[in-house]
Amino acid sequence: MQGHLAEMRVTIISGAAVTPRHLNKHIDYTKLAGQPGFDATAKNFSLSTPTEMVVSGDGRTLFVAAFGSSKVGVFDTTALRNNSFDPRTIAANYIPVTGGGPSGLVLDEAHGRLFVATRFDNAVKVIDLASKSQTASLTMPNPEPAAVVQGRPMLYDATHNSGNGEAACASCHIFGDLDDLAWDLGNPDDKVKSNPIPINLGAQLIINLNPFGFRGQFNGTGQVDVFHPMKGPMTTQTLRGLVNSGAMHWRGDRANGQFGINATDANLSFNNFIVAFPGLIGAEAQPSTADMQRFTNFQLSVVEPPNPVRALDNSLNSAQTSGKNFFMGSRPADGVNLGFTIPGVQTAFTCNGCHELDAAEGEFGTSKNSSFEGIISQTFKIPHLRNMYTKVGMFGAAKVPAFDAADTGFLGDQIRGFGFTNEGASPTIFHFVTAKVFHPQINSGFPLINPDNTRRQVEQFLLAFDSDLAPITGQQVTLTASNGSAVGARITLMEQRANASFTSKVLGGAVKEIELVARVAQGGTIKGFLFNPANSTFVPAGGGTALTDAQIRALAGTAGQEVTFTAVPTGSGARLAAVQ
């Protein structure tokens, strides 16, 4: 599988016919970089991560922006339909662009030009179509810090980071997120490693009586605190929001690696992914330590987006509130409540006792510990819960002994093939919380009376789970002379949330939910204002007379002076208000 993570394709739809075309069919996946017979020139003809496409007016030529290759692919559409193209031959027509990360295309056939947006340097490149060469580069303002700009290419650049020019980290972690697939990355040639992560319910494992009927020894060795190289299938995890989550991978494997052993150090854990470049992406060698640190600096600065399920005023509805009350309550949901304590031993945990919600520590479901669950034959790192809503789409499941849930029967086509838990086998959160470890008992598990009602409530809370950013972050509305009745309430809500207290470790601790920026064109220039919640005024960027709420809204009454209001993360307001 090294270097063969995903094939880059363009799909042709003609009537009812759907025909994919592999853009890199010249690659011989049986040969690995550094091995005899490997063709090191193959990457010169490859395109990685195709994004936008445009077609010439006569329909004969297709231009494809290859985000991970710093190229624009050029294809004869007839050859593409017939699958008669040879990448090694037509690559001479591919258009290289500087800067990296080509993502957007605009075709100006009247003037023989192609405009290409390049993400890595935040620029627009001008291409002369006659010579298929870049003639100009127009750099746009970019407020991103150097660490982001320098590290971003490591996620996407297949030319420098893979052997065949097609594979990249983003082949699975699509734009730093999920691919909705499960992968079995077990390696029988690898070694058993120590696991330094504290284990909830670990005391139960010390007995090692194998009471749950696992086939073979627990953790593959009978030892509690190890990582076995044969890990089994695991769904792709997001690379967003890693900075305060401790060790990485489903089991926390990256707590032990090339850069050392540590149960909680996110910087070390992400650096330990360096082995994936030759091991998965198929590079001939690992990147330099400096390049890997640049990648780490970039990725640890990426956060989870605001939760779109949660109300914009950050409130919970009645079902979500009830679910949170159980989640944060005192009744153990997992394990066995003995009714007495044993020094140094905890046998039962509340939902929050494992999946800690502590915004001040940047913990949104993970306590940085591992846990032992009777339904799984390994210990697993307790995962965060901020992105549960992204996994909705698998609904049906057969009755299995490890869960109380009944057989759902056939439910038709599914949106996704994988759901929740490490292998994606639980189709819904409700199904997951019917696991035997949560079985209703007198003093633990879900309530004995109507447990399914509480399970549904907990499901609703988890889908609306807290995140690093307030729900209203990123909301934007433009006020015009005629839409005040439609958008006025949203602007008022933004002003209110700019004065609402919020806790976010990535934003500095105790902050406000957002900062509110207003921008308007006046006198031929764009003017920015930052909302001051202390007196409800809008302060001009660079100084000047502040405007009241009524005054800034009144500006939109003049044609051409529409006012755009944007809810931005705390700490970004002054900078974004000043951007011209």
**Total Cβ atoms within 10 A of residue 149:** 15
Question: Which pTM does this prediction carry?
Answer: 0.93
Give the model's confidence band at 202: pLDDT under 50 very low, under 70 low, under 90 confident, else very high: low
Q: Are residues 32 and 68 in the same domain?
A: yes
Claim to verify: residue 355 and residue 435 sit in the same structural domain: yes
Please write the tens of the pLDDT for every residue from 332-350: 998 777 666 676 677 789 9
Are 505 and 427 in a shared domain? no
| Percentage with pLDDT > 70 across the chain | 96
Distance, CA of 219 to CA of 233 (rounded, Å):
14
CB 43 within 8 A of CB 161: no
| 494 shares its domain with 362 | no
pLDDT over 90 for what percent of the chain?
86
Helix (H, G, I), strand (E, B), or coil: what is residue 117? strand
524, with CB counted inside 10 A (0-12, 13-18, 19+), is exposed
Residue 374 lies in a domain: yes
Q: Which of 462, 464, 503, 457 is nearest to 307 (CA)?
A: 464
- Give the Cβ contact number of residue 37 at 10 Å: 8
Residue 67, pLDDT > 70, answer yes
pLDDT of residue 420: 93
Q: Which of 193, 240, 179 is nearest to 221 (CA)?
A: 193
State the Cα–Cα distance between residues 445 and 434, nearest whole angstrom.
Answer: 10
Average pLDDT over residues 402-411: 93
For residue 212, pLDDT beyond 70: no
Helix (H, G, I), strand (E, B) or coil at 431: helix
Q: How is residue 434 written in tokens?
A: 């019917």
Task: Assess whether 324 and 459 both reside in one domain.
Answer: yes
Residue 333 lies in a domain: yes
Residue 542 token pair:
């660079």
> Crossing angle, helix 318-328 and helix 451-463, to 10 degrees?
100
Final residue in a domain of this structure, among 442, 463, 484: 463
- Out of 117, 139, 161, pick the residue that ends a domain: 139
Q: What is the pLDDT of residues 425-447, one digit of tens each?
A: 999 999 999 999 899 999 999 99
Q: Inform me whether the pLDDT recorded for 251 exceeds 90.
A: yes
Report whether pLDDT(124) > 50.
yes
User: Given the structure tokens 């220039």, which residue do they identify?
Assistant: 525
Return d(Cα 247, Cα 383) in angstroms, integer: 10
Whether residue 553 sits in one domain with residue 453? no
Q: Among the three residues 106, 139, 172, which one is the final residue of a domain in this structure? A: 139
Distance CA 230, CA 234 (A): 11
Q: What DSSP letter does each residue of 291-351 carry, written as one string?
A: HHHHHHHHHTT--PPP-TTS-TTS---HHHHHHHHHHHSSS--EE---SS-BTTB--EE-H
Average pLDDT of the residues in 312-319: 98
Is the pLDDT higher at 2 or at 478? 478
pLDDT band at 204 (very low <50, low <70, confident <90, very high): low
Least confident of 149-158, 198-207, 428-437: 198-207
| Residue 127 near residue 133 (C-beta atoms within 8 A) | yes
Give one DSSP letter per residue of 390-414, joined into a string. Answer: GG---------TTB-PPP-------
Report whether 573 contacts 495 (CB < 8 A).
no
Mark whether 377 and 481 lie in a shared domain: no
> What would the mean pLDDT of 408-425 be, rounded to a whole number?
92
CATH code, domain carrying 100: 2.130.10.10
Closest CA to 470 of 327, 356, 572, 400: 572
Domain presence at residue 168: no
Of the candidates 189, 173, 190, 198, the residue with the CA atom closest to the CA atom of residue 380 = 198
Domain that holds residue 327: 318-463
Surface-to-core class of residue 412, CB atoms within 10 Å of its CB (0-12 exposed, 13-18 middle, 19+ buried): exposed
Same domain, 426 and 538: no
Torsion of CA 445, 365, 358, 573, to 10 degrees: -150
Structural domains counted in the chain: 3
Amino acid at 504: S
pLDDT in tens, 352-377: 999 999 999 999 999 899 988 766 78
Report the mean per-residue pLDDT for the chain: 93
Mean pLDDT of 454-469: 98
- Residue 522 and residue 448 in one domain: no
pLDDT average, residue stretch 439-468 = 96
In a domain, 471, yes or no: no
Predicted confidence at residue 2, as pLDDT, reads: 86
Q: Report yes or no on 347 lying in a domain.
A: yes
Clarify whether residues 417 and 374 are in a common domain: yes
